[in-house]
Amino acid sequence: MDIDKKIREELAKEKALLSRQQTPDASLFAMLGDAYKGRLGGWMVLMSIIAVLLSALMLWSGYQFFFVVESLPELIRWGVTLLLSSMMQIAIKMWTFNEVNRNALQREIKRLELAIMVKESQ
């Protein structure tokens, strides 16, 4: 078997695998699911758990700040807790969507590499 033919067959297999993994117009939920299956999937799970805990803290802090506490030191404490938890929540969301973007970009680069290799082998 000719080496060029072997390379073409391997490229065709890899291209078929990539096209099965993601459709060109993947939804946001599909892209998020791919991020959980990626290299940093464990970190994605951990960040999701932390985000849920921060959401609970943020809701509780907001409730305490707006409806329960009346003394100034307590208001300051709950207000700062509310602000910090929401800022941490924003940072986690930014990291999550950067990870989704990185995975999508990696797939597109791989697709371009395959297209270039197929074009050169013809």
Which residue range(s) make up the domain with 91? 26-113
**Does some domain include residue 121?**
no
Q: How many domains does the chain have?
A: 1
Please indicate, yes or no, if residue 7 is contained in any of the structural domains: no
Choose between 20 and 14: higher pLDDT.
Answer: 14
CA 102-104-107 angle, 5° bins? 110
In a domain, 12, yes or no: no
Q: What is the pLDDT of residues 62-120, one digit of tens each?
A: 999 999 999 999 999 999 999 999 999 999 999 999 999 998 898 889 888 888 887 77
Higher-confidence position of 118 and 39: 39
70 in any annotated domain: yes
Residue 11 lies in a domain: no
- Report helix, strand or coil for 106: helix
